[in-house]
Structure 1
Amino acid sequence: MAGNSLVTITFIVLCHDSAERVIDLVRQLLTEDPECQVIIHLDKKSPKTIFQKLALALDGEPRCHLMRNRVRCGWGQWGLVEAPLRALRYALEQTDVSDYFYLISEYCRPVRPLSELREFLTAYQGTDFIECETSDWIKGGIREDRYLYRHYLDKRKYPKLHRWMYRAQKYLKLKRPMPKDFEVRFGSQWWCLSKDTVFKLFDDCKRERRYKRLRTAWVPDECYFQTIVYHEFSETVSDRSLTYVRFDREGRASNLNYQDFVPDGCFFARKYYLTPGGLRDTHKEMI
């Protein structure tokens, strides 16, 4: 732990779109929190030029780690779970392991000073901040069918084929039985987990087999970590997210700006416009 007795944080940044946006975010994190670590995972599908720009700008920063062991991240697919899993494994192999791991994307921005985040996590050290809700958390679309059927394709890339495969499984009665030994839980993809919990995630190979079916769930990033943490580490869970996300009617994150209300208790906001008054607007177009 740091000499000032505050906890330390490793930020895991998932990105795919803009090297400039990522570089700007990383430099803000490193500047505002002089003891944090940052691990960047760039979608393997992204153009090589983005990776080259990131490497040129950030490889010389000792507290920033640009992952080479990357995975393809299709929307609603397993890659969005595998990417943070690889980042966590990488972090645990380092000499200095942080007290907390905070997952964000290139579209997230701090809405409160990072010093306040460290003070907050120090006050609640050992608590895991991750939503672990029932299927009622899902506002639209399929619910239990997310994990009772197998979903292999990127819906945004192959919408008709994705729909056909789902309907074909229903027609052929290929529905999987409900899990007998655990209840699937749902929540925001963006979490903050303690070091102890992260170590325990990887210390039992039986755990991976138990939750294997979630690899082919639809949008597993909204149920994999949530389900495991809920069942395996329930005594440490605070069922809340520290990152604010506002969804539209289609379940997509809406763009925010400095005039939008961000609830107390949130330290980051997703798709947050940095605006005039001393902050830079780096979000020209958000997807």
Structure 2
Amino acid sequence: MAKIAYVLLCHKDPEAIIQQAERLTAAGDYMAIHFDGRSPASDYQQIRTALKDNPNICFARKRVKCGWGEWSLVQATLYALESAVATFRRATHFYMVSGDCMAIKTAEYAHQLLDSRDCDYIESFDFFESNWIKTGMKEDRLIYRHVFNERKNKRLFDLSHSLQKRLGLTRALPEDMQIQIGSQWWCLRRRTVEWILSFLSERRDVLRFFRTTWIPDETFFQTLVRHLVPTKEIESRTLTLLMFSDYGMPVQFYNDHYDMLMGQDFLFARKISPEAQELKSRLGALYAEQGVEFQISNEGRNLYGFLTKRGRNGLRFAPRFWETESTLGRNRELLIISCKKWHVAKRLIERLREVSNVPALAYLFDEEGTDMPDLGGIEATLWKRTRHRRALVRMLFDYYETDRLVICLDPSALELMQDFCADRAITRILQIECSLSDDYLTGHAERIGLAGQQTATAALERLLPTIRNDIQHESDRIRDVGFDHHSLIRESDSDEQIAEQLMPFLALDHEAALTLARTEHLFSD
């Protein structure tokens, strides 16, 4: 009978990871855990301590600092696979899951399904001929070398990519391999995994190639399985249910999705909403049950499309983020930096990226050209961003897979601040007040169209006091609202005073906050 070794990649919520590991191993299956090297050591130790007496659990021999789109995700998977293969000699299948996955079938059902056919379950489509990649970079993922993280170092990523294109620095693909693409969530037989590990020990050239491809977790295992395993032994589909919205973001499942999930022809589902406590409880108890019969209708994706395309106003089977009462997520923190001098806030978040893993975006509701990820079009214009403000920010939380996000807003955007602060998420506001010289105000007047190069000096002298008063009024309005989590720093403050305000706002220790406060030329015009 099939015995599954789950390969779990996770990076947060140690309590949930412990519960997930205990549930999936209670029925006699195994689990190998890789906990992101960027996550706190204390969380990792909590997981190891809680699970140390469970013989059906092992850990990857090394923790890797993972980043989206990087080779690090594949390397973490390989470390966990190696540990699982060596530790669990009786495991017949290896199933890739994340901390956001939950079983939607019983262990009994899963074992019977895997026993019913001797094959590997992995999406594996021709990279160039298939239409698996809908938008964005395609061939360039492979023929150029990608050494920078697109999310953390977007400018370097784009600069490296454009420089290679300009200089014609393309590279050849492995001659004997047909590159494949598909979902990263797979279930492979033991023999296939052993073949892959043996192949990699001999073909270092393949490892070198994939280490510098972009998003290799969608091509690496998919290509190797198709290269090593006969086609008739590959079921080109994933056993993990995942659906995407029109914006290309994963759909989350809620309490009212339980019956729908039971009828889908999958073993797991992702992502389960953090707020769906009832759904989590029911699914958690399901895996160990016996004798449960499932009526497979498999209508989930069609039903989702039917309802959402008609703009259904309700909760059942629909993503809620575009509705008025939608939430960013109860356990999330939105950190807003409000500063009239945009270059000051931009310098601060640029430095923040160097001392913290918290994603930070500049004036996304004020500046059309703000660097933003592709979110399916909602980010295309300021009008769309503002109209779908909560949808946009929630999608950014999901895109960066984080519970903390920093954005910058102009002090005039009081309505946006009030809207975000009314959400169930925690919203913190850091207000930065800068000195306003006449030269700065003149430049500001020219940028917003109130003055030009030919404006008379006398006219400027009458205009500047009005602009100065308007900016001060915007600042006063923010303070007058009385936001629950409001901090204020001024250009005249000392580095220590600024650090004292940054510590609670960004949850930084004193040393990191002081490093931020000492950002070179922070307030310079």
Shared topology, TM-score over 0.5?
yes
Listed as ranges, the matches of 1:80-91 within 5 Å are 80-91=73-84
Matched AA of 1:114 = A
- Equivalent residue of 2:7, what SS? strand
Instruction: Write the distance in 2 (CA, Å) between the matches of 1:186 and 1:240.
Output: 11
**Cα separation, partners in 2 of 1:137 and 1:258, compared to 1, 3 Å:** farther
Q: Deviations over 1:181-218 (max 9, x none)?
A: 22211011111000111111122333443453122110
**Cα separation, partners in 2 of 1:277 and 1:172, compared to 1, 3 Å:** closer
Instruction: Write the distance in 2 (CA, Å) between the matches of 1:189 and 1:18.
Output: 22
Q: Deviations over 1:203-254 (max 9, x none)?
A: 2333443453122110000000000101211332110100011234554433
**Cα shift at 1:130:** 0.3
Residue of structure 2 equivalent to 1:199: 194
**Cα shift at 1:123:** 1.0
Instruction: Write the distance in 1 (CA, Å) between the matches of 2:142 and 2:280.
Output: 45
Residue of structure 2 equivalent to 1:29: 24
Matched AA of 2:211 = R
Q: Deviations over 1:76-133 (max 9, x none)?
A: 1111111111111112222623000001001101111122111100111x31000001
RMSD: 2.3
Residue of structure 2 equivalent to 1:3: none
Within the candidate set 53, 57, 63, 2:46 is matched to 53
Listed as ranges, the matches of 1:1-287 within 5 Å are 6-31=1-26, 33=27, 35-94=28-87, 96-124=89-117, 126-135=118-127, 136-204=131-199, 205-210=201-206, 212-235=208-231, 236-249=233-246, 251-260=248-257, 261-262=260-261, 264-273=264-273, 274-276=276-278, 279=281, 284=331, 287=401
Instruction: Write the distance in 1 (CA, Å) between the matches of 2:171 and 2:100.
Output: 36
Q: Deviations over 1:236-277 (max 9, x none)?
A: 211010001123455443322244555732111111234426
**Cα separation, partners in 2 of 1:278 and 1:246, compared to 1, 3 Å:** closer
Instruction: Write the distance in 2 (CA, Å) between the matches of 1:42 and 1:278.
Output: 21
Matched AA of 1:23 = I
The answer to whether the 8 A contact 1:129-1:241 is kept is yes
The answer to whether the 8 A contact 2:61-2:79 is kept is no
The answer to whether the 8 A contact 2:30-2:88 is kept is no
- What is the count of residue pairs matched by the alignment? 279
Instruction: Write the distance in 2 (CA, Å) between the matches of 1:83 and 1:10.
Output: 16
**Cα separation, partners in 2 of 1:248 and 1:151, compared to 1, 3 Å:** farther
The answer to whether the 8 A contact 2:18-2:50 is kept is yes
Instruction: Write the distance in 2 (CA, Å) between the matches of 1:65 and 1:149.
Output: 37
Please, which runs of 5 or more residues in structure 2 have no aligned partner? 285-328, 333-397, 402-525
**Cα shift at 1:278:** 7.5
Percent of aligned pairs sharing the same letter: 32
The answer to whether the 8 A contact 1:38-1:64 is kept is yes
**Cα shift at 1:137:** 0.8
Matched AA of 1:243 = T
State the TM-score, normalized to the length of structure 2: 0.50
Moved more, 80-89 or 273-282: 273-282
Instruction: Write the distance in 2 (CA, Å) between the matches of 1:27 and 1:139.
Output: 38
**Cα separation, partners in 2 of 1:97 and 1:71, compared to 1, 3 Å:** farther
Please, which runs of 5 or more residues in structure 1 have no aligned partner? 1-5
Matched AA of 1:230 = R
State the TM-score, normalized to the length of structure 1: 0.89
